[in-house]
């Protein structure tokens, strides 16, 4: 079995490591600011390293599940980073929601050391991570993907090969934009239902019968109940991801809807809700009602 270095033990990363361990992989994780996931994974058989470089020593595959490209860059090329410790012939798999330009620069840097790179944007959320049924948007060469695939198959079951390095993260950004825009529309539809005097739970059920969507199914009830914690996807993360999508949009393309969606989440952040779930869109209802 491959030796895996894994960095990022959040709500997605912890169950991903658990599935790797269940499938017999030798996994070394990096100490986290929260000790609980580290100790749970240690109990399942994970080794624990003090730094990314220590975890990377002897690893055949390094998997990253981090919040932004800034953390990915620091983990790979910062002090105590993985780049100098990874052996030629190994491969980095970035499952973070990263900026494609940063991804391509990191891949080029690692290629000079004989280390491959696969960007593997993920979907299906925490439930998919726990079930080992994640879907991946893959960017990278066929050779590097072949090296990464055994580990990825321990954590997921669906692969979309989108093109060269960066294409996986471009696809993930588009997937996020579609998801966040749909959740915003769900919030507005439920606002209309409230204005019409409809029972919102009955409306949710009725809409699922004819206009169903993952956004309506997953976030409709949270919007109705004003359930903002714990955050599945925080308003702050939504803003970062939408900004990334805006940054990678060619100047020749004029977008109409996404800037308006981004403005909605910016308003929520300005209301002090950046750390809350994006279902906090319901807080915009009061502003509309008082207008």
What digits encode the pLDDT tens for the residues 56-71? 999 999 999 999 999 9
Do 3-164 and 171-290 have matching folds? Answer: no
Q: Residue 148's pLDDT is what? A: 97
The residue ranking higher by pLDDT, 32 or 195, is 195
What digits encode the pLDDT tens for the residues 136-186? 999 999 999 999 999 999 999 999 999 999 999 999 999 999 999 999 999
Topology of domain 171-290 in CATH is: 1.10.1040
Q: Residue 50's pLDDT is what? A: 93
Sign (positive or negative) of CA dihedral 178, 184, 190, 196: negative
Q: Residue 288's pLDDT is what? A: 60
What digits encode the pLDDT tens for the residues 80-122? 899 999 999 999 999 999 999 999 999 999 999 999 999 999 9
User: Domain boundaries in the chain?
Assistant: 3-164, 171-290
- Band the pLDDT of 289: cuts 50, 70, 90: low
Two tokens, residue 137 = 């948007």
Determine the distance from the C-alpha atom of residue 233 to the mean position of all C-alpha atoms in its chain, rounded to a whole number. Answer: 9
Average pLDDT for 20-28 = 97
What digits encode the pLDDT tens for the residues 176-222? 999 999 999 999 999 999 999 999 999 999 999 999 999 999 999 99
What digits encode the pLDDT tens for the residues 122-138? 999 899 999 999 999 99
- Band the pLDDT of 31: cuts 50, 70, 90: confident
| CATH number of this structure's domain 3-164 | 3.40.50.720
- Asked whether residue 290 carries a pLDDT value surpassing 60, the answer given is no
- Asked whether residue 291 carries a pLDDT value surpassing 50, the answer given is no
Catalytic positions: 172
Rounded mean pLDDT of the chain?
Answer: 95
């Amino acid at each position: 079995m491959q030796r895996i270095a894994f960095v990022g033990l959040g709500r997605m990363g912890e169950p991903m490591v658990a599935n790797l361990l269940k499938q017999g992989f030798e996994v070394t994780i990096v100490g986290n600011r929260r000790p609980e996931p580290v100790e749970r994974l240690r109990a399942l058989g994970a080794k624990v390293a003090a730094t990314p470089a220590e975890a990377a020593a002897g690893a055949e595959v390094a998997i990253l599940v981090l919040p932004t490209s800034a953390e990915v860059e620091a983990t790979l090329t910062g002090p105590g980073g993985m780049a100098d410790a990874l052996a030629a012939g190994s491969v980095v798999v970035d499952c973070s929601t990263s900026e494609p330009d940063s991804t391509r620069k990191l891949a080029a840097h690692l290629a000079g050391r004989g280390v491959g790179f696969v960007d593997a944007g993920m979907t299906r959320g925490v439930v998919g991570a726990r079930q080992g049924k994640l879907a991946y948007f893959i960017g990278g060469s066929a050779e590097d993907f072949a090296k990464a695939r055994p580990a990825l198959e321990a954590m997921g079951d669906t692969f979309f090969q989108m093109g060269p390095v960066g294409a996986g993260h471009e696809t993930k950004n588009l997937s996020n934009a579609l998801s966040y825009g749909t959740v915003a529309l769900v919030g507005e539809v439920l606002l209309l239902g409230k204005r019409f005097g409809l029972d919102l739970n009955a409306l949710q059920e009725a809409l699922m019968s004819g206009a169903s969507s993952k956004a309506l199914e997953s976030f409709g009830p949270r919007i109705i109940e004003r359930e903002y914690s714990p955050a599945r996807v925080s308003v702050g993360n939504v803003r970062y991801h939408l900004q990334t999508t805006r940054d990678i949009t060619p100047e020749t393309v004029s977008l109409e809807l996404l800037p308006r969606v981004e403005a909605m989440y910016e308003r929520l952040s300005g209301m002090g809700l950046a750390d809350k779930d994006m279902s906090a869109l319901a807080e915009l209802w009061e502003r509309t009602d008082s207008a």
